[in-house]
């Protein structure tokens, strides 16, 4: 996937109809769109691939071209962490390097009901990665929907967290109360942290490489080199 920020001369986001993205001459499909960016699904062939992005604003047109080399035999390596910094508890799962090689993919295939490593690789989503990393670190999540693409996945809670040390930083608590939030430092259930705990705006969100995706966990396909941060938000 690729995120595209295309803006007019006035600094406004261009409509998706004003932007085209192609891979080796074939149009890439839109995966998600928000007020700032649009995400495209890029399908690469083995070897070199030419990606062209063209934006048009009135009589002005700009095209940028990238060359991407894809090696399907190279394992995808991503870094995943789970954070509770808003609660003063730091990392719940410290940065965890996950190498999606044949051994790990085979293990995941067995766990999630796929025939083999190749099938698991084809079906991979951030939701599968999240569940796998949590399990490997002795944690468990409660969620709605499934882990596969298009399954309307929504993470409600993570269980197995030491919630006894929760202490919302004073400056953050003051800002929350200033904006009308009531802060309850005790989660609804000991050892469990999720939606509506601490404040009515609380829950889990994630970023990839410093950007908040405009698709959910089950519709994001992890890319080699990704840094995925799962973060607890209180607003």
User: Mean pLDDT over residues 52-57, rounded?
Assistant: 96
Q: Which of 49, 70, 91 is the last residue of a domain?
A: 70
Q: What is the pLDDT of residues 199-214, one digit of tens each?
A: 999 999 999 999 999 9
- The residue-averaged pLDDT of 102-129 equals 98
Say if residue 181 is in the same domain as residue 87. Answer: yes
Q: Are residues 140 and 229 in the same domain?
A: yes
Look at residue 58 and tell me whether its pLDDT is greater than 80.
yes
Last residue in a domain, options 70, 90, 120: 70
Instruction: Report the alpha-carbon distance of residue 31 to residue 16 in Å, rounded.
Output: 11
In the structure encoding, which two tokens stand for residue 110, read together? 């067995």
Is residue 143 scored above 90 in pLDDT?
Answer: yes
Output the pLDDT for position 95.
98
Query: In the 3-class helix/strand/coil scheme, how is 16-28 assigned residue by residue?
Result: HHHEEEEECCEEC
Residues β-bridged to residue 53:
21, 64
The band of 144, judged by pLDDT with boundaries at 50, 70 and 90, is very high
Residue 186 pLDDT = 79
Res. 59 pLDDT band, cuts 50 70 90: confident
Res 226 pLDDT > 90: yes
Same domain, 178 and 89: yes
Angle between helices 126-136 and 102-112 (to 10 degrees): 90
| pLDDT, the chain, mean | 95
pLDDT tens digits along 147-164: 999 999 999 999 999 999
Counted domains in the chain: 2
Q: Are residues 96 and 184 in the same domain?
A: yes
Q: Does residue 189 share a domain with residue 93?
A: yes
CA–CA dist 205, 15 (Å, integer): 26
Q: Are residues 149 and 37 in the same domain?
A: no
Over range 23-41, report the average pLDDT.
94
The answer on pLDDT for 187 being more than 80 is: no
Dihedral, CA of residue 109, residue 110, residue 116 and residue 117, to nearest 10? 40
Note the pTM of the prediction, 2 decimals. 0.88
Does one domain contain both 127 and 153?
Answer: yes
Q: Are residues 124 and 42 in the same domain?
A: no
Based on the domain organization, do 209 and 99 belong to the same domain? yes
Is the Cα dihedral 8, 13, 15, 17 positive or negative?
positive
- Read off the CATH number of the domain in which 203 is found: 2.170.130.30
pLDDT of residue 9: 87
Phi/psi of residue 170, each to 5°? -55, -45
Q: Where are the beta strands (DSSP E) in 149-222?
A: 154-159, 192-194, 203-208
- Alpha-carbon distance of 30 to 229, in angstroms, equals 24
Question: What burial letters (b/e) apply to 203-215, b meaning 16+ CB within 10 Å?
Answer: bbebebeeeebbb
Question: Which domain does 193 fall in, by range?
Answer: 76-233
The answer to whether residues 42 and 84 belong to one domain is: no
Q: Which of 51, 70, 89 is the last residue of a domain?
A: 70
Give yes or no: residues 161 and 184 share one domain.
yes
The rounded distance, in Å, linking the Cα atoms of 158 and 140 is 6
Q: Specify whether 107 is located in the same domain as 65.
A: no
Task: Please report, for the domain that includes residue 44, its CATH number.
Answer: 2.60.40
């Amino acid at each position: 996937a690729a995120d595209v920020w295309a803006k007019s001369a006035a600094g406004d986001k261009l409509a998706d109809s004003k932007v085209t993205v192609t891979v080796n001459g074939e149009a890439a499909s839109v995966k998600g769109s928000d007020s700032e960016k649009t995400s495209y699904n890029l399908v690469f062939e083995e070897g070199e691939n030419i990606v062209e992005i063209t934006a048009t604003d009135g009589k002005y047109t700009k095209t940028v071209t990238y060359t991407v080399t894809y090696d399907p035999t190279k394992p995808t390596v991503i870094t995943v962490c789970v954070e509770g910094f808003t609660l003063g508890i730091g990392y719940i799962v410290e940065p965890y390097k996950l190498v999606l090689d044949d051994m790990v993919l085979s293990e995941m295939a067995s766990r999630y009901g796929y025939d083999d490593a190749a099938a698991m690789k084809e079906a991979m989503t951030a939701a599968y990665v999240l569940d796998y990393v949590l399990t490997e670190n002795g944690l468990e999540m409660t969620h709605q929907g499934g882990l596969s693409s298009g399954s309307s996945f929504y993470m409600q809670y993570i269980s197995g967290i030491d919630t006894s040390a929760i202490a919302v930083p004073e400056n953050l608590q003051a800002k929350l109360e200033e904006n009308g939030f009531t802060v309850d430092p005790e989660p609804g259930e000991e050892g469990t942290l999720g939606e509506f705990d601490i404040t009515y705006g609380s829950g889990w969100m994630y970023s990839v490489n410093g950007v908040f995706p405009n698709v959910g966990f089950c519709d994001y396909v992890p890319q080699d080199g990704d840094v995925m941060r799962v973060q607890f938000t209180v607003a």
